[in-house]
Every structure is written in C-alpha cells, then in structure tokens.
Amino acid sequence: QVRINNQTDWRRKHQTALETHYRRAPYYDRYAPAFRALYSRDLERLAPLNVEVIRVLAEAFEIRTRLVEASRFSARDDQTGRLVDLCKSLGADRYLAGDGGRAYMNLGEFEEAGISVEFQEFAHPEYAQVYAPFIAGMSAIDLLFNCGRDGIELLRKSRRSRA
C-alpha cells in the first residue's frame, strides 16, 4: 500500500486549494467542514484516505450503496478474473463497466459465471461552475461544491448503458 508522506504539509495545501478554487461556490460553506475534518485525521496510507473521501462524497450526495473494499476478498490477479471473482463473492449477477472496459475485459468469463455486463455510455452534463467556461471531468468535489446534494441527479439523468 502507498504510504502518505506526512512530513510534508499536504493537508494544508489541499485545504488551501479547495478554498482558493471553491470558496465562492454555492455549496462550499455547507460541505467544506467535512473535508476539513477529513484532513485533520492522522492517516498513514493512501487507500484509507481515498475510502474516507468516497464516504464523505457518498454521504453528501446521499448515496446509500454499501461500500466494500475489494482487498477483503480473495480474487484472481488477472483483470477479468478479479472482477468476476469479486462479483461472485458479492452475489452480483450484473456488472456495470466503464466504456474503457471493452478494451481489456473477457466477456466470455462473465457469461460463464452467469454475470451480465453493461457498459456505461457517459455523456458529461454541463452545470454552473464558479469560473466560466464550463470544464468537463473536474471531480465529484467540483460537482458537490457547485451543485450540492442534487448534483448527483445531473449524473443520473445523463447516464446510459448497453450490453
């Protein structure tokens, strides 16, 4: 696991970057305290920090999906085998993949395991950002600070998938 270099002042740099870029965003004051609290935690490894960021965002967007860490399960090392094993461990019969998955996934392995695969066709929605013009693909934090909890609905409305 990747270790965090706590000898640097990365927490202050991150908080300053968020404040500099988003303090004028409509929902900054509402959600910034959760990130400040996150940065006050003493974490030694990157993965737990990433999990905590995901939890903060999921709570803010009111996403109730259960989060589980893949490292808690036994799975093969190859890309497709790992995904199939994780799906089976969780009792999943459908896997929603990013469009880039077509380049590396062996769909036959999913089919043999009784797991259907759907590929997302993401069309990035535009929303009001603090600075114009709109820049797509920023981050979930950008969406949260600019649109608040309801920002997730913009993503849901723009999603499409196909087998």
- Residue entry with tokens 């995901």: 54
Residue-averaged pLDDT of the chain: 93
For 127: left if phi > 0, alpha if psi spans -120 to 50, otherwise beta; the answer is beta
Terminal-residue alpha carbon distance, the chain = 34
Note the pLDDT tens digit of each residue in 106-124. Answer: 999 999 999 999 998 888 8
Exposure b/e, 90-126, CB count within 10 A at least 16 = b: eebeebebeeebeeebebebbeebebebebeeeeebe
The pLDDT-based confidence of 17 (bands split at 50, 70, 90) is very high
Domain ranges of the chain: 10-65+124-162, 70-120
Q: What's this model's pTM, rounded to 2 decimal places?
A: 0.85
